[in-house]
Amino acid sequence: MKQGLVKVAAATPNIQVAEVDYNTQEICKLIDETVANGAKIVAFPELCITGYTCGDLFSQDILLKKTKKALKKIIAHTMGKDALIFVGLPYMVRNKLYNVAAAICNGELLGMVTKTFLPNYNEFYEMRQFKEGPKKADWIQFEGEKIPFGPQILFECEEMPDLIVSAEICEDVWAPIQPSIMAATCGATIIVNCSASNETAGKDAYRKALICGQSARLIAGYVYANAGEGESTTDVVFGGHNIIAENGTILKEADRYVNDTIYSEIDIERIVGERCKNTTFQMSEDYADLIKVPFSLNVEETEITRTFEALPFVPSNAEARKELCEEILTIQAMGLKKRLAHTNCKSAVVGISGGLDSTLALLVTAKAFDMLGIDRKCIESVTMPCFGTTDRTYTNACTLTQKLGATLSEVNIKDAVRIHFRDIGHSEDQHDVTFENAQARERTQVLMDIANKTNGMVIGTGDMSELALGWATYNGDHMSMYGVNASVPKTMVRHLVQYYADTCVDEELKAVLLDILDTPVSPELLPPEEGEIAQKTEDLVGPYELHDFYLYYMLRYGYTPSKIFRLAKLAFAGMHDEETILKWMKTFYRRFFSQQFKRSCVPDGPKVGTVALSPRGDLRMPSDACAAIWLKDLEGLK
């Protein structure tokens, strides 16, 4: 439960219809198993103490009395067990039979949640045996104790105030207005569903989409426990299709037709963070009307079994990655197309270095020109060799321009930079920040003046990862008239260029793109060593795959540095050791805070994903904010 991670389980027991003692024994065994595996929230299927398919046997007094005894036995069995457990059963109140989920914790019955919507169509006829639950929860007596009875009861964890659990039952989630809507808008962060949903051809896909969508709409965790083998097959078959979802993502899904228990961790901090910034998610004013029941859990380290992708901006699925690449390229090109049309520019100026970023910018510009029906020869692709330029990058820049049909210009800036060094009294042999930045600013001046000369605009090449780290020369490569890569992280830049290479029909163009992909990332501002690139960016600021991971979880979910460090250790196991992860994480936070002034005045550029750094959109951050509390959180980590 530390760092907001709560382990949950959806368990389908082996049952026999109407064999209450056997079912109780199996439920208790699974309670032991799930608690032993660290689950803090456990959901069992609808009416699992008796079996969902008892039919008119539900009207038999002997069955109902036996069920109540079984519930008491299960309650007693949970004594000393650190979990909130939901078990389905039929329960009689004031001569009416209800389909309920009993909430149990550490030997105590906390409440009974009633089913609101009873299906009475096709193979379902629940209204024959059960009464719909009340519109609003009230109190009943159970063994001399008052307990809440009804829908939308909120079970609130005393040790973790944001862990608020509510339940609904099967058909409730199929309804147009689900009970969980009110519960979630009143604070519930996890919804449990005790279900008995039978299998028909194709129903599993609909069920999965339904649960996934509900967790997204509610910005919540959703634990769905379904009835399985053991239920009567007189007319239907149950598959035990258990699902755990979080805010639109399926974390775990059970194989069907085998009774199984699935586990995952729901991130409460992530849910609360998403709700906090999502103004569409409106909290209800009816919170005071719902019954709140406190429960207690031990706060322990949660073993993480869910996976965290090392490249969160890049889909691991190849087909999804292709679709995303095409979508991003289109968004970038559409953004530039609009800007070119609005300004009536017939020329675009791109500084081409033979590196990944300028390559992507040129590819996007060519795509935008095609959309506008403008000849690609109107793209001014400018190579500006200087002290650090290598033959490899120079050749690739020239070949790429020619293969794309743009106009190649070369402006060697060595003499201009030397004159500038003379004017400011700087030695060419002093390879410091002045030596580097003078080249970047000279290149930007050249591009801007060529744009004026051709009635064009300068297309920015810098990417989002560089902006996050401030790895750009202020008023040098930092500046342009439209930054097409401004919200594309470096890890995605690589895949976009790879996608273009994979889909182009020109073998020579493909070859140069692949060589660019194989070239070390470098600003090439220091003289080469034996003809090779001497200045490798990732040796200086750290691997971009790590920085993109930090950036994603910091801005997308607001995670603490220590939590991101924990996730990074899992995501990069076998790739980066803990010392490396921590070293570059400290670099990331120091640079992210100290370099905000560069992001406060970046040019316009299109947003392509869920994380962006534009001061006009996603990140309104003071340029002089302190990083102290973030860096302090990293102290003592190993």
User: What letter does residue 616 receive in the DSSP assignment?
Assistant: T
Q: Which residues touch 503 (CB under 8 Å, ≥6 apart)?
A: none
Residue with tokens 């510009």: 365
State the Cα–Cα distance between residues 163 and 190, nearest whole angstrom: 7
Would you state the pLDDT for residue 346? Answer: 87
Q: Which fold has domain 318-542?
A: Rossmann fold (3.40.50)
What are the distances in angstroms from CA 568 to CA 7, 281, 549, 554? 19, 30, 7, 12
- Residue 186 contacts residue 283 (beta carbons within 8 Å): yes
Q: In what order do the strands lie in the sheet with 292-295?
A: 249-253, 243-246, 221-226, 190-195, 164-169, 154-157, 292-295
What are the distances in angstroms from CA 50 to CA 23, 149, 240, 311? 7, 20, 16, 47
- Residue 424 contacts residue 442 (beta carbons within 8 Å): no
Would you state the pLDDT for residue 531? Answer: 77
What are the distances in angstroms from CA 318 to CA 147, 296, 314, 328? 52, 44, 10, 15
State the Cα–Cα distance between residues 324 and 495, nearest whole angstrom: 10
CB-side neighbour CA atoms (13 Å) of 252? 24
Q: What is the mean pLDDT of each run of 10 residues along the chain (638 residues)?
A: 93 98 98 97 98 97 98 98 98 97 98 97 94 96 96 97 98 96 97 98 96 98 98 96 98 96 97 93 90 95 92 96 97 98 95 96 98 97 95 96 97 97 96 95 97 96 97 95 98 97 95 95 82 82 96 95 96 96 97 97 96 93 96 87
Task: State the catalytic residues.
Answer: 46, 115, 170
Q: Which fold has domain 2-295?
A: Nitrilase/N-carbamoyl-D-aminoacid amidohydrolase (3.60.110)
Rounded to 5°, the CA angle 31-33-37 comes to: 115
Would you state the pLDDT for residue 638? Answer: 66
User: What's the pTM?
Assistant: 0.91
Domain map (residue ranges) of the chain: 2-295, 318-542
If DSSP codes are grouped into helix, strand and coil, which group holds residue 47?
A: coil
From the list 622, 624, 602, the residue with the least C-alpha distance to 612 is 602
- Residue 400 contacts residue 353 (beta carbons within 8 Å): no
> 3-state secondary structure string, 554-576?
HHHHCCCHHHHHHHHHHHCCCCC
Would you state the pLDDT for residue 532? Answer: 81
Would you state the pLDDT for residue 494? Answer: 96
State the Cα–Cα distance between residues 269 and 584, nearest whole angstrom: 24
What are the distances in angstroms from CA 571 to CA 268, 270, 557, 592? 20, 17, 17, 22
State the Cα–Cα distance between residues 207 and 222, nearest whole angstrom: 13
Looking at residue 165, its amino acid is V
- Residue 246 contacts residue 233 (beta carbons within 8 Å): no
